[in-house]
Chains A and B, each alone.
Chain A
Amino acid sequence: MTTKTKLILIGILTLIVAVLAYPKEDSLLHKIGFKHSHLQVREGLDLQGGAHLVYQADLTQTKASDQAAAMASLKDVITKRVNSVGTSETNVQQLGSDKIIVELPGVTDVTAAENLIGQTANLVFLEIDPKTQGASDTGISGKDVQKATADFDPQSGQPIVTLQMKSGDSTKRFGQVTTRINQTGTQLLTLLDQDPIFGPATVSSPITDGKAQLSGNFDVKTAKRIAQLINAGALPVPIHPVQQQTVGPTLGRESVRHSLVAGVIGLGVVALFMIMYYRLAGVVAVAALGIYTALTLTIYKLSAFTPYGIVLTLAGIAGFILSIGMAVDANILIFERMKEELRAGKSFVAAVEAGFDRAWPSIRDSNVSTLITCVILYSFSSSIPIIRGFAVTLGLGVVISMFTAVVVSRTFLRGIIMTKVGKNPKLYGLKLEESPK
């Protein structure tokens, strides 16, 4: 590839990332025909305010072989419950082998959230009158269910959920209700946590053995999940809160504003320093730094569409700002080498190439050692999200900065030395007596 082609490609890349990184990119994208595009850097709880809760599951009464399944259904039950509150972007995650993290952005009343998480799964059977659409409670609930199983309908092959009522009173009452529904021509509706999972449907014959079949139009996965939730009834294992954090929305906003100001000032001071010290090469570094920043922000925004969405926290912003410093380091290493080669009397073309080649081992080794630190931070910090955020942004920054320093800066310098102005040694901070011949 010629330098010219590379410059054009970098130009195109710059244009794309500049548009995507722009804070109001949706209005820009709208103008060129993309509708409904809304990209956003996902903010952590410490930035947007909200509650972060960690629960410890008490697995002492659970057999070792059942613990993983118990944790999975615990996570399911809690997810369902927090989602029913209707706040967006809630996040429930398993932490280690026996903890659950619940993140509720925008929720500052932890007590309300805690009450909700502590509730039992709510299975309700309603009797519906098809004429009036009026619903009445049958008095039968999840508490009457002994066991739920995901199964297949022997006739249609459709996934179904079968329920076994508790023997005795529960089975008897269920028999009475179904008998009544069967005779009066009303319908049975089954709700799980307020969502209809079966019916409303007529009951073809009274069910006196306590065995009910729920056949909604669900797939195998849904059937299994429903069975799991009903079985969970109450939470499958007792849980205790062990960690809690709430951040007021104003505090979070303040932190974002402060950090952004710090970032802009930091970038500005570094740019000024680079241009004053390395002159024309400094301008190249600043351009590369600009592309670096836009590229990084674009990746933050686009990562939200992948399973590895980056959530920006205050520590993450610090990692990003620190990575700016490291991005500049690669440029400094290259420019210092280039100046040495120029002093030694090499031509501009030779000096640029030698500068990059000689600086590369240092850039590679020093950045790999930082990446090692990031990987270790990431893997040891599953219980410390604040550290995880820092490791991700710093690591990503190191990788992207290697690209911008080695590809973008190099191409720019190659382009510049092709021009007449670009061959003036004074523009690189060299004294005249050090000029190349």
Chain B
Amino acid sequence: MNIIGRRRIWYSISLAVILPGLISLVVFHLKLGIDFKGGSLLEIQGGGNASAITAQAKTLGFQDVTVTSGSGEHLLIRYRDPGSPDQAEARHKEFKAALATTGLSEISYSTIGSSVSRDITRNALLAIAAASFAIVCYVAFAFRNAPPPVSPWSFGVTAIIALLHDAFFVLGVFSLLGHFFGIEVDALFVTAVLTVIGFSVHDTIVVFDRIRENLRRERASFETVVNDSILETFARSINTSLTVLLTLLALFLFGGESIRYFVLALLVGVASGTYSSIFNASPLLVSWHNYKLKRAKARP
């Protein structure tokens, strides 16, 4: 099978899949949860009348009130308390009591002040940037002895392109989910993105490792060596992803409600990571190599 020869097709598929999400990211952004913009989230038991609850919340002075249904009989109420944080607990208690008179009981409550959510947002962005940077350096270091014609840094950079592919795919999917289904991203989502990044590189390194090994043995063209390496690691890539996807699927279907979207992000990201390690990262090595050759020839 010639994977490298058809690399334009794989690049096009990636673009076609990522583009809608990217556009959505630019136009709609991500729907941020209370972890990132502050506010309160209350989960209550017993089906209630959404508009009655909203009205009740508004009389207490809460802003941006939304009521959505969670799993089963649970309702999720989100609001922002514009007052001082010192009195927020008293107002929350008042709200809880008001809900109790209509037979609704609170099962979980969380509230985050805007200064804390700013911290979380900053740390989340820093973490993603730091992780990406550390990984490029590690890959370049791990492949420092890679035989010619490719430099260690090109392994690092193509691994990062594959990683960005996966990260943006997950971000795009959640931007669309946020816009059309109101699904919010929380601190756990950052964890999911970081895990996807880690997994993506994990997967890519295995293929790169084989390319490095084959470059030492085979005397064939670079394209052939890369193609052979992908084919030789194909079964492993698919089987590994399959086992991870199976465990994630079990978590998605039977795991706790509060981690459902976290698991969904991982599912989407791991699938994308498998695709990118086979169809993006290694083909990009070849594209890069060919581009450098062409430039070298063009020089007088």
Contacts and interface: CB of A to CB of B under 8 A. Distances in A.
Interface of A: 46, 54, 56, 96, 99, 110-111, 114, 240-248, 250-251, 254-256, 258-259, 261-263, 265-267, 269-270, 273-274, 277, 314-315, 318, 321-322, 324-326, 328-329, 332-333, 336, 340, 358, 361-362, 365-370, 372-374, 376-377, 380-381, 383-384, 386-387, 390-391, 394
Interface in B181-215: 187-188, 190-191, 194-195, 197-199, 201-203, 205-206, 209-210, 213
A199 B233 CA distance: 77
A332 B240 contact: yes
A255 B243 CA distance: 23
Contacts of B59: none
A247 B191 CA distance: 21
A262 B106 contact: no
B136 to A, nearest CB: 10
A269 B236 contact: no
Contacts of B251: 259, 262-263, 266, 318, 321
A343 to B, nearest CB: 11
Interface of B: 35, 43, 84-86, 88-90, 93, 106-113, 115-116, 119-120, 123-124, 126-127, 130-131, 134-135, 138-139, 142, 187-188, 190-191, 194-195, 197-199, 201-203, 205-206, 209-210, 213, 232-233, 235-236, 239-240, 242-244, 246-251, 253-259, 262-263, 266
5 contacts: A46-B258, A321-B248, A370-B198, A373-B135, A376-B127
Chain A contact surface mostly: helix
Q: Which of A324, A373, A380 gathers the greatest number of chain B CB atoms within 10 Å? A: A373
A54 B244 contact: no
Nearest to A325: B244
Contact of B190 (A241, A246, A387): A387
Given A326-B202, A376-B134, A386-B191, 9 more contacts: A111-B93, A243-B116, A246-B106, A259-B259, A262-B253, A273-B239, A315-B259, A369-B201, A387-B191
Given A258-B255, A333-B206, A380-B123, A328 B243 contact: yes
A265 B191 CA distance: 23
Contacts of A243: 110-113, 116
A362 B206 contact: yes
B194 to A, nearest CB: 6
Nearest to B234: A336
B107 A251 contact: yes
B248 A242 contact: no
A244 B243 contact: no
Contacts of B203: 366
